[in-house]
Amino acid sequence: MSINKTNHTINNHGFVTLIWPLMGLAAILLFNLFFTPNFFHIEIKDSHLYGSLIDILNRAAPVILISIGMTLVIATAGIDISVGSVIAISGAIAASLIAKTGAPLLVVVTVPLLISMILGAWNGFLVSAIGVQPIIASLILMVAGRGIAQLITDGQIVTFENKAFEYIGNGFLFGIPFTITIIALVFGVTQTLTRKTALGLFIESVGCNPTASRFSGISVRSIKQVVYIFSGFCAGVAGLIAAANIKGADSNNAGDGLELDAILAVVIGGNSLDGGKFSLTGSLIGALIIQSLTTTILTRGVPVEVTRVVKALVVVAVFLAQSETFRNSIRAKFRRRTP
């Protein structure tokens, strides 16, 4: 079974698997090019770029970040549904630190990130050391985590004014949103670490066949531990962005449901939930598809009642295009008609 799976993914990998999500993204953008006026219009306002495309990149930042972490977790045949709650906790801690203690920026950034990593480590511990199923392990933190975030902020929205911290969510570096710089950094480092070192291969082998990996000398336990910690870190960064963006921590709503968007992004990107081969670029494209869709819907003013249906239809279309079986059956039908 697993040998088959590996073969299958190896054959299919590289640019070929990415072509379908890419075409999905291109289709959404093309639609806007023709039917949404001003969608591609980018102007310079207050010496930074301003336009719908910039919004897409900026708004996609949290989902892209957590889907980078999620990709690695899923590659080990795991899943982390606690990221939404970790986002809320990270934001809550940062906002409370600013509002209540006036701590310096370094503390405001590092403390939430450290705690997010500890929370990730807790997930990793449950999964790798105790052997709890990943979805259950992270479900615990998903439920408890939001409660913790609400405890930190007393159930209220904690607001703050702190120019340096707000820069994380609202600032511009060389005219582009700073969030894009953050993504580029996290993405670049992760891509390098997993592709230029053996780490990526280890992660994939743990996902394909943990027993064989263990026999070939890979420490399955520590690999799993590391990916969950990394997922916690990514969620922590996303939490800082979310809080900085609205200048406040909204523990009830921050990151709510974002874990599902991240999983969707990973799957749209052509990654299998069974683990094994993974593509970070695929997940990145997946996240961009989701956000382009949202921005399109908001810009065009699709009625609220059908918004979710429209989203679902587009996602289904992308999945169908990706499915080899579906494409073959369509091809077969055409062949039958024209003998």
CA distance 124 to 237: 18
Indicate whether 6 belongs to the interface with another protein (CB under 8 A). Answer: no
**DSSP notation for 104-160:** -HHHHHHHHHHHHHHHHHHHHIIIIII---HHHHHHHHHHHHHHHHHHHHTTSEEE-
Residues 167-196 that bind another protein (CB under 8 A): 170
CA distance 131 to 237: 27
Indicate whether 59 belongs to the interface with another protein (CB under 8 A). Answer: yes
Instruction: Specify the stretch interacting with another protein by CB under 8 A; choose among 75-83, 186-194, 252-260, 282-290.
Output: 252-260
Indicate whether 155 belongs to the interface with another protein (CB under 8 A). Answer: yes
Residues near 15 by beta carbon (within 8 Å), at least 6 away in sequence: none
Q: Which is nearer to another protein, 122 or 172 (CB)?
A: 172
* Cβ–Cβ < 8 Å for 183, 176: no
Indicate whether 237 belongs to the interface with another protein (CB under 8 A). Answer: no
Indicate whether 162 belongs to the interface with another protein (CB under 8 A). Answer: no
Q: Give the residue, chosen from 22, 103, 132, 157, that forms a contact with another protein under the rule CB under 8 A.
A: 157
Three-state SS at 250: strand
Q: Give the residue, chosen from 34, 106, 131, 305, that forms a contact with another protein under the rule CB under 8 A.
A: 305
Residues near 304 by beta carbon (within 8 Å), at least 6 away in sequence: none
Q: Which is nearer to another protein, 172 or 230 (CB)?
A: 172
Q: Give the residue, chosen from 69, 248, 276, 282, that forms a contact with another protein under the rule CB under 8 A.
A: 248
Indicate whether 46 belongs to the interface with another protein (CB under 8 A). Answer: yes
Indicate whether 47 belongs to the interface with another protein (CB under 8 A). Answer: no
SS3 content of the chain, % helix, strand, coil (to 5): 75, 5, 20
Q: What track of x and - describes contact with another protein for positions 191 through 220 (by CB under 8 A)?
A: ------------------------------
Least distance to another protein, CB of residue 187, Å: 22
CA distance 318 to 333: 20
Q: Give the residue, chosen from 254, 262, 265, 288, that forms a contact with another protein under the rule CB under 8 A.
A: 254
Least distance to another protein, CB of residue 234, Å: 18
**DSSP notation for 59-115:** HHHHHHHHHHHHHHHHHTT---TTHHHHHHHHHHHHHHIIIII---HHHHHHHHHHH
Residue ranges in contact with another protein by CB under 8 A: 36, 38, 41, 45-46, 50-52, 55, 59, 150, 155-157, 159, 170, 242, 245-248, 250, 252-254, 294-295, 297-301, 303-305, 307
